[in-house]
Amino acid sequence: MSRLPRQLSRSEARYGRTRKGSIRMELSNTAKWRMLKYDGSEPWEKDDDIAAEIPLTLKVDGDEFATLVCSPSDLQELVIGFLASEGVIRAAGQVKSFSIHEDTGFAYIELEHKQATNHDQYAKRFIGSCCGKSRQFYFHNDMLTAKTIMTRTKISAEQCIRFMRELQESSSDFRSTGGLHNAAIGTPAELFAIRADIGRHNALDKLFGYCLLHRLRTSDKVIAFSGRLSSEVVLKAAKIGCGILLSKSAPTDLALRLADDLGITCAGFIRGGEMNVYTHYERIDFGN
């Protein structure tokens, strides 16, 4: 029977414990940078808030698996969610040990049962903060871990609009830097976890990791997202197991074809009291 790894303290859960066991200072999603500001008059120097970015290389059972370029918050959730998204694990309890060396940028993961790596399926690769992968990548491993969603969960249109407003109002790091994606998960009644990252896929992996670490059922949950509804984002939602995906931005045609096939309700352009529902309308209650 699988077991959940030891729950870390708040500082550890966000940024890991070093191999020697010492807890490091909490890292921020923002950094200060001295810049020259020009607005049509005389330029002047000022400190600006910039989105922080770090490379994090994952070593699974001693082998290098991937390097993530990410924001330095909620790293345990990111690693757990990413490994689950890639099909390496199905539950957090399959991770025997986990540690992060922030000074060197390595995360060390030991699995309860070491897996024989299929190099065709788990090719070492660089997952950047920019978005987009080839169709070969999608149909290689992503489609093996994406779930078809059969949920009967419904949400009101008014609540969708409120969730998007709440997500934007909670995004202080985005307001100060303009460089982060935000994602939240909740029930149709309330959002209970919000995560931010420079990479949109990273923000969703952090939510996935949060759900796995807390052993949450996901089929009755809703995801609110700040970025574009790409095929990658839809696949992440399918892997998490959520059937309702909300965004303030536009979808792509491949994303909507995947959402239609995978049983995911996609609603975009949620702003100014309006929204567009593109797939599986039956989960949105318009109050008629």
- Please identify every residue annotated as catalytic: 131
- Which token pair is 120? 């065709």
Give me the phi and psi of 247, to 5 degrees please: -150, 150
**Cα–Cα distance, 91 to 231 (Å, whole number):** 24
Residues in the chain, overall count: 288
**Cα–Cα distance, 133 to 246 (Å, whole number):** 22
Other beta carbons less than 10 A from residue 231's beta carbon: 22
N-term to C-term CA, the chain: 48
Helix (H) or strand (E) holding 94: none
**Amino acid found at 75:** L
Strand order in the sheet with 181-186: 191-197, 181-186, 222-225, 244-247, 265-271, 274-277
